[in-house]
Structure 1
């Protein structure tokens, strides 16, 4: 999938933009998605200023999803996650993979970013799986990576990211994609999609530590 376009819905936000820049640097064609095509195009121009000559474009979310190859990433805040998935459902194709990096944090309901919201389906990723068309698979990852570190191309990430999905065949292209980022970022298979409930809970923990220690903390899994 080295030449396949990856759509990053919510690519105008910190995490989505950082992911777009890192993947663009690795030579992956990127289409940034937003509810507003103009904002998406502005983000693409900013990305090109950071990575001159990269293959980065911007479009409305539905068009971005339709232009994607195997992977469509959802990087929007949890408050707009369900509405975003519903709005692009008709643009998703069978056998595409939705890479969900969403975390149900407190600000979605007026709370703090160090709070985790309970999700009826079990996790944000499982909620997304319940909303996508039949044949579209959801894989979750990148919950513990902060957007600032991704956007700073000189920053060494030097951490692991846990990848959850119900089938090994779905996780493999996501792991391949994350490996392109390099800079010490290692994807680790963390099991089935239901494990996302646990993995998503690491984000508010790390946010609290980052505030306390004024750091950009991450996780590492030893012995694997």
Structure 2
């Protein structure tokens, strides 16, 4: 089964580079391009991509607002990876908080870009924990996030899984760490997301940091 990708970046050269990298893979198809976030919602509705690779900084509508627009307007929305030059960009963290599933760096190696797209399509999240922690540190102990975490009433195993998610581990890595089956991990992850009201792993990890459940560093 192939993965369909929509590329959104105001730099044509960046789009061309990403297209070349992704289309070198037999299981990935680039089905469209856009030069600004304002075009994303209609294109997503028309093309129904599995993954949107979206520049975080664009002149008319940036990646943060475009992400919000897609999640608000499109039923069963695609996975969204924001593309950025710097991993410590405040815009990246805000895009993740807005609902993006992860991010990748424009300077990333081709194999890393392909890996990120595949992980996103599979429902995993590609996080750079150090970068996420650096922004979360300034927001730790958020009262609303802490109250939501308390209401979630995670079991001991669910809490353990969330802490490993916050370290950036995939389901397979969590399974190996806890010596349990991959399907069991999926069940625990689904329970964590449901209890936290999180769209995906990224949102759960951000909630973990901002509530103080996981302490940066």
In terms of fraction of residues, the more helix-rich structure is: 2
If you compute each CA radius of gyration, which structure gives the higher value, 1 or 2? Answer: 2
Alignment TM class, shorter chain as reference: 0.3 to 0.5
Question: TM-score scaled by structure 1?
Answer: 0.41
Question: TM-score scaled by structure 2?
Answer: 0.42
